[in-house]
Amino acid sequence: MAQYLANTFETEQVRVLVVDDETHITDFLRLGLRYEGYSVAVAGDGPSALEAVGRFKPHLVILDLMLPGLDGLDVADRLRADPDLLIIMLTARDQVPERIAGLQAGADDYVVKPFDFDELLARIHAVTRRRFPVQEDILRAGGIVVDQGRRSVTVDGRDVSLSVKEYELLRLFVLNPGRVLERQLILDRVWGYDFYGDQNNVEVYVGYLRRKLRDQERRIIETVRGIGYRLNA
C-alpha cells in the first residue's frame, strides 16, 4: 500500500470528514485514513454531515453523492460558502452528467465506486497540496538537521551516517518534536503496513539511533513507558 503522509502532520493533522450511508465504507476509510495520519470523523446522511462540518471543522470532506435526508449535491452546494473547504465526491455512477453536477456544486475532485484506496489517497494528497504548503527540504529539531533532498543528517554540525530505516525513523521524530509517537504508529510509518514483524524492531532501531546520536542518557529520544517514544529537541 502506498503511503501518503498528511502534509501538515508535523504541526496540525489534516481533518477529513467522510460522509456515506454505507457503514462498511465509512469504517474502512476511517481506519485507513487514520493510519495515514489524518484525523477522521464520519457522518451517515446529509443533515448529519452539515452538523459535523460545524463541529469538526474539516479541511476536506469525502462526500457520497447519494445520501438520505439531503443528497450530496445539496450538501456540497451548502458547503461551497467556505472557499477553503475541499470536497471529493464519491459516486457509484460513472456518468458525465453526474461528474459535471458534482464539480459545479463545488467538488474539487470526483471518485467512482468501487475505488482503490491508494487512488483515493493520491487524490487526497493532490487536493490537500493546494491548501497546505509543501514541507521544506531541510528539517531542524534542536541540534539535529535532516536534509531530505540529500538524505543526510548532522547533529551539532557532526555528520551522522544512518541506514535507510534509521534515517526514516529519525526523520519521523524530527517532523514531530515533543510529540509522543506510539510504537505501532512508528512501525506503520517506517516499516509499512505489509511488515509482519513485531514492535521489537522499533526498540532495536531506537537503540541504534541513540548510539549514533551519542544519546546514552536517553535525553534526546525519550522512552515513554507503555506508549512509545518522544524526541526532546
Task: Provide the pLDDT for residue 35.
Answer: 78
CATH code of the domain covering residue 30: 3.40.50.2300
H and E: helices and strands count for the chain: 8, 12
Residue 126 has pLDDT above 90, yes or no: no
184 compared with 22, residue with greater pLDDT: 22
- pLDDT above 90 covers a percentage of the chain that reads 43
Single-letter code of the amino acid located at 15: R
Shared domain check, 153 and 55: no
Q: Would you place residue 192 in the very low, low, confident or very high pLDDT band (cuts 50, 70, 90)?
A: low
Shared domain check, 175 and 109: no
Q: Where are the extended beta strands (E) located within the chain?
A: 15-19, 39-43, 60-64, 86-91, 109-112, 138-141, 144-147, 152-155, 158-160, 180-182, 221-224, 228-231
Shared domain check, 227 and 199: yes
Residue 9 counted as domain residue: no
Shared domain check, 177 and 199: yes
Residue located via cell numbers 453526474: 98
Shared domain check, 146 and 118: no
The residues, ordered by sequence, that sit 6+ positions from 91 with a Cβ below 8 Å of its Cβ are: 64, 65, 66, 72, 98, 102, 110, 111, 112, 113
Mean pLDDT, all residues of the chain: 84
Per-residue pLDDT reduced to its tens digit, 36-65: 778 899 999 999 999 999 998 899 999 998
By C-alpha distance, which of 16, 233, 8, 9 is closest to 123? 16
Task: Provide the pLDDT for residue 150.
Answer: 85
Q: Would you place residue 86 in the very low, low, confident or very high pLDDT band (cuts 50, 70, 90)?
A: very high
Residue 87 counted as domain residue: yes
Residue 3 counted as domain residue: no
Q: Which residues are bridge partners to 231 per DSSP?
A: 221
- Write down which residue in 101, 129, 157 finishes a domain: 129
- pLDDT above 70 covers a percentage of the chain that reads 82
By C-alpha distance, which of 113, 21, 32 is closest to 71? 21
User: What is the residue range of 81's domain?
Assistant: 15-129
Per-residue pLDDT reduced to its tens digit, 168-181: 899 999 988 999 99
CATH code of the domain covering residue 175: 1.10.10.10
Q: How many domains does the chain have?
A: 2
Shared domain check, 109 and 63: yes
- Write down which residue in 67, 101, 129 finishes a domain: 129
Task: Provide the pLDDT for residue 146.
Answer: 93
Shared domain check, 29 and 122: yes
Residue 72 counted as domain residue: yes
Decide: 172 and 189 in contact? Cβ < 8 Å.
yes
- Write down which residue in 129, 150, 171 finishes a domain: 129
Shared domain check, 122 and 143: no
Residue 6 counted as domain residue: no
Shared domain check, 123 and 64: yes
Residue 4 counted as domain residue: no
Lookup: cell for 18: 467522510
Task: Provide the pLDDT for residue 7.
Answer: 42
Residue 163 counted as domain residue: yes
Per-residue pLDDT reduced to its tens digit, 18-42: 999 999 999 999 988 887 778 899 9
Lookup: cell for 133: 504548503
